[in-house]
Amino acid sequence: MQAASIFMATTLLQPGTPAPPPAANKDPLAGMVLLTAEGQQPRAKAAVEITKNALKRIRVAMAKEGISPEQGGLRLGITGGGCSGLSYNIRFDTQPRERDRVFVFGEGVQTPGDPSGGKPVRLFVDPKSFLYLAGMVLDFEETLMRQGFNFINPNSTKSCGCGSSFSA
């Protein structure tokens, strides 16, 4: 039986040698397929975007909940509270409110297992929440450890480990 060998790479610095720069921050959107709302410019600061994974999950969940894509949609919002001061909330709504911003995504975009046949989905954001959500991307992540929506929010200055609370 052979013993397994372990190799660890280390960097030894000579006295007076500056430390190498830390690795650059990774782009949180790398590898994602972003969808821009109808009538919006890609990566616009005054818009909300979603990923193709989020589109798929929204369509499946809307069908499961019996929410009509033509009338209802997904409401994104912010409330006070949580570990870091503000919390994301996400729920279905049967129609937009009078002052909501309405973002329409995915017309004709097919997703695997799509129960809607490529119909668009709508996201509703109230004016107060939009102050904190402008420029964000909604993603859906599914791994062995966790499954759920991720808010990739450039307005967030600090977030907690739960992922649903932030400071701006």
Transcribe 61-101 into DSSP letters.
Answer: HHHHHT--TTT-EEEEEEEE-STTSEEEEEEEESS--TT-E
Residues 6+ apart with CB under 8 A from 90: 74, 75, 76, 77, 149
- Tens-place pLDDT, residues 48-79: 999 999 999 999 999 999 998 888 999 999 98
The whole-number pLDDT of residue 46 equals: 85
The whole-number pLDDT of residue 108 equals: 86
The whole-number pLDDT of residue 9 equals: 42
List, for the chain, all residue ranges whose pLDDT scores fall below the cut of 50: 1-12
The whole-number pLDDT of residue 3 equals: 46
The whole-number pLDDT of residue 159 equals: 61
Residue type, 25: N
The whole-number pLDDT of residue 55 equals: 95
Model pTM greater than 0.85? no
- Are 133 and 78 in contact by the 8 Å Cβ rule? The answer is yes
Residue type, 119: K
Taking the CA of residue 88 as centre, how many other CA atoms within 13 Å lie in the half-sphere pointing to its CB? 24
Residue type, 7: F
Which residue do the tokens 């019996």 mark? 66
Task: Give CA separation, 28 vs 17, 105, 154, in Å.
Answer: 32, 21, 10
The whole-number pLDDT of residue 81 equals: 74
The whole-number pLDDT of residue 44 equals: 82
The whole-number pLDDT of residue 1 equals: 47
The whole-number pLDDT of residue 154 equals: 85
* Integer Cα distance of 117 and 167 in angstroms: 38
* Integer Cα distance of 140 and 33 in angstroms: 11
Domains and CATH numbers, the chain: 34-167 (2.60.300.12)
